[in-house]
Amino acid sequence: MHQTSEMRFRVTAPVEAAYEYFADLRHVPDYDPSVRSIQPTPPQGWDGSSFSMVFAPLGPWPKIPLTLAVEGCDPGRTLTYRIDGPRMSARDHITFQFLGADTEVTITTTFELRDPLAPAMFVYRALLPVMRRVRSRSTARAVTEAYCRRW
């Protein structure tokens, strides 16, 4: 069962700074609290394209080990990640658009839960509008704060 969502928000930072923030995967736990940790897959470092993550959504859900692969990037324009695990997969496609001093960031996520988690999709759909608003604000704040600290 697939679900697609789009999250769009504006950050007070130039396109290059917003892109760099998302391209540096060490930042993922800063804007996505369900990601408890992320590490490069050996022997590569942080510049590689494969990572291991620990995902633990809020509530009574167990921690889930996942892999994240960078599928594509066009610096300053787009990033695409694929996330896989035993019971779910997702693809995040992130685009960056210059808006003067600001950047509009759009994250399109395609999400799939596999048996036996597939029935939980209706809960995800019900909570999606609230989660999207909260995550948009927290992600925009994290990117802007990182840019302000740097400059």
* Structural domains in the chain, sorted by start: 2-32+69-150 (3.30.530.20)
Please tell me which of 39-43, 44-48, 106-110, 113-117 the model is most confident about, judged by mean pLDDT: 106-110
C-alpha distances (whole Å) from 42 to each of 22, 23, 98, 116, 150 are: 21, 19, 35, 31, 29
Q: How far apart are CA 67 and CA 49, in angstroms?
A: 10
Question: What are the backbone angles phi and psi of residue 117, rounded to the nearest 5°?
Answer: -85, -10
Q: How many Cα neighbours within 13 Å face the side chain of 9?
A: 19
Q: What angle separates helix 121-150 from helix 15-23, to the nearest 10 degrees? A: 120
Confidence of residue 86 (pLDDT cuts 50, 70, 90): confident
Spell 5-29 as b/e; 16+ CB within 10 A means b.
bebebbbbbbbebbbbbbbebebbe
Which has more confidence, 78 or 62?
78
Question: DSSP characters for 57-68?
Answer: -SSSPPPEEEEE
C-alpha distances (whole Å) from 125 to each of 5, 81, 86, 150 are: 9, 22, 21, 37
Cβ partners under 8 Å of residue 16, min gap 6:
76
**What's the mean pLDDT when you consider all of the chain?**
82
For the whole model, what pTM was predicted? Answer: 0.81
Residue 1: the pLDDT is 63
Q: How far apart are CA 131 and CA 32, in angstroms?
A: 11
